[in-house]
Amino acid sequence: MSEDGAGVPSAVAAGSQDQGGTGRTLYLEIFRYNPADPDSEPQFRTYPLEETPGMTLFIALNLIREEQEPGLQFDFVCRAGICGSCGMLINGRPGLACRTLTASMEPRIRLAPLPVFELIGDLSVNTGKWMRGMSERLQTWVPATVDADIDSIEAPMEPELAEQIYELERCIECGCCIAGCGTAIMHERFAGAVGLNKVARFRLDPRDTRSDGNYYELIGDDDGIFGCMSLMGCQDVCPKSLPLQTQLAYLRRKMLRAGLIATG
């Protein structure tokens, strides 16, 4: 996502304004930089803000933009941990601004854009571009093997299997696992937990007729499953608590076997 959310009504941003303060003043140290402006220098600027009950970083950023810094760039759409737009480094750790209560932190809060992704400006990054590239490299879709017949009845699926697939479908492509992954930071084309989780999801899908050998061609190298160092930074920061460790271990076993068969 890369929308900067400038059109959100002020009532949304104000959120908790009428509830009185908590008595704390927050100091948000926010990364400011506009890569499109040759005069812009990367820097942190500090914005004081009176905390209100139930305040999230989403509310705090909107108030700062309304009252102090109209040009501040950051992304959000849903405010509910669903769209994945508001990922950022919160005191150095990837997380969602809309799901982070300021009450859970010390008053001085440092916000920076997620690394790895192209910087649009300030806290806004282009996760969509990265996700598209990953998706095209890993072919994260069910390949069509028959012509679609819109009059046919829906194919049944065992509820247990559907549940397993939906569990992995909960990924919101926020990019937090990529920002928290040492391999993704060093290797531009590494699929990361988000990509490998998608492969695991399609591997489960009975409509996907690709073999382990086909998947090996997609992820059987250092840009795929063998680039993963298994330190699980991804699982630690995933705001949807996806079972990434289990999926990565599953794929590693599958791909090791497929690799042994491929090399005889």
Residue numbers at the binding site for ligand SF4 (CB under 6 A): 171-177, 180-181, 183-184, 192-194, 197, 228-234, 238, 240, 242, 248
* Beta carbons of 179 and 87 less than 8 angstroms apart: yes
Nearest distance from C-beta of residue 232 to ligand SF4, angstroms: 5
CB nearer to ligand SF4: pick between 6 and 231: 231
Q: Is 86 in the site for ligand FES (CB under 6 A)?
A: yes
Give the nearer residue to ligand FES in terms of CB position, either 81 or 259.
Answer: 81
State how far the Cα of 220 lies from the Cα of 137, in Å rounded to an integer: 13
Bridge partners of residue 50, in order along the sequence: 25
Distance between CA 83 and CA 173 in Å, rounded?
Answer: 8
Helices (H) and strands (E) in the chain, counts: 10, 7
Q: Which residues are CB-contacts of 2 (< 8 A; sequence separation ≥ 6)?
A: 75, 120, 124, 125, 126, 127, 128, 129
User: Using the rule CB under 6 A, is 85 a contact of ligand FES?
Assistant: yes
Q: How far is the CB of 131 from ligand SF4 (least distance, A)?
A: 8
Name the segment binding ligand FES (CB under 6 A); options: 19-27, 70-78, 114-122, 240-248.
Answer: 70-78
Among 83, 88, 200, 242, contact with ligand FES (rule: CB under 6 A): 83
Residue with smaller CB distance to ligand FES, 58 or 215: 58
* 8: Cβ contacts below 8 Å, ≥ 6 apart: 62, 76
Q: Which is nearer to ligand SF4, 55 or 171 (CB)?
A: 171
Under rule CB under 6 A, residue 8 binds ligand FES: no
Closest to ligand FES by CB, 82 vs 185, is: 82
Residue among 15 and 84 whose Cβ is closer to ligand FES: 84
DSSP string covering 26-64, please?
EEEEEEE--TT-TT---EEEEEEEE--TT-BHHHHHHHH
Tell whether residue 115 is a contact of ligand FES (CB under 6 A).
Answer: no
CB of 55 to ligand SF4, least distance (A): 23
CA-closest candidate to residue 94, choices 219, 200, 207, 184: 184
Q: Which residue has the tokens 């997620």?
A: 114
Q: How remote is the C-alpha of 5 from its chain's centroid?
A: 17
Residue 251 in contact with ligand FES, rule: CB under 6 A: no
Residues at the contact surface with ligand FES, assessed by CB under 6 A? 76-79, 81-86, 96, 98
